[in-house]
Amino acid sequence: MLAVLGATTANRGARVGLVLVLVLIFTALFAPWIAPYGPDQMGAGMSLSPPSADHWFGTDEFGRDMFSRVVYGARLTIQVGVIAVGISLTVGTLMGLVAGYARGWTERLLMRLVDVVFSFTETLIALAAVAVLGPSLTNAMIAVGIAAIPFYARIAYSVTLVERNKAYFDAAYVAGAGHMRLIFVHLLPNIVPPLIVVATLGVSSAVLAAAGLSFLGLGAQPPSPEWGAMLSAGRDYFTQASWIMIYPGLAIMITVLAFNLLGDGIREALDPRQKAKR
Asked whether 67 and 55 are in contact (CB, 8 A), the reply is yes
Which residues neighbour 131 within 8 Å (Cβ) at sequence distance 6 or greater? 218
Whether the pLDDT of residue 33 is over 90: the answer is: yes
- CA 259/CA 17 separation, integer angstroms: 6
Give the structural domain span for 158. Answer: 2-277
- Residue 23 pLDDT grade (very low, low, confident, very high; cuts 50, 70, 90): very high
**pLDDT for 113 beyond 70:** yes
Q: What is the pLDDT of residue 32?
A: 93
53: which residues sit within 8 A by CB, 6+ positions away?
none
pLDDT tens profile 176-233: 878 888 888 888 888 888 888 889 889 988 999 889 888 888 888 888 899 999 998 8
DSSP, res 54: S
Q: Mind listing the pLDDT tens digit for each residue in 169-186? A: 888 888 887 888 888 888
Q: Nearest 5°: phi and psi at 65?
A: -70, 120
Half-sphere exposure of 239 (CA within 13 A, CB side): 1
Q: How far apart are CA 238 and CA 50, in angstroms?
A: 12
pLDDT at 274: 53
CATH number at residue 76: 1.10.3720.10
Split into its structural domains, the chain has a count of: 1
DSSP line for 198-263: HHHHHHHHHHHHHHHHHHTTSSS-TT---HHHHHHHTGGGTTT-THHHHHHHHHHHHHHHHHHHHH
Q: Reply yes or no on whether the pLDDT at 162 is more than 80.
A: yes
CB contact burial 233-265 (16+ within 10 A = b; e otherwise): bbeebeeebebbbbbbbebbeebbebbbbbbbb
Beta bridge partners of 59: 65
Cis peptide before 135 (omega within 30 of 0): no
Angle between helices 66-102 and 104-118 (to 10 degrees): 150
CB contact at 8 A, 19 and 73: no
Please check whether residue 101 is in contact with residue 164, taking contact to mean a CB–CB distance below 8 angstroms. yes
Confidence of residue 3 (pLDDT cuts 50, 70, 90): very low
Query: Residue 65's beta-bridge partner residues?
Result: 59
- Write down the pLDDT at residue 233: 87
Mention every residue, 6+ apart, whose C-beta is less than 8 A from residue 234: 60, 241, 244, 245, 248
Using pLDDT thresholds of 50, 70 and 90, give the confidence band for residue 6: low
pLDDT at position 66, please? 93
Which tens digit of pLDDT belongs to each residue from 264-277?
888 777 665 555 45
What pLDDT was estimated at residue 271?
Answer: 62
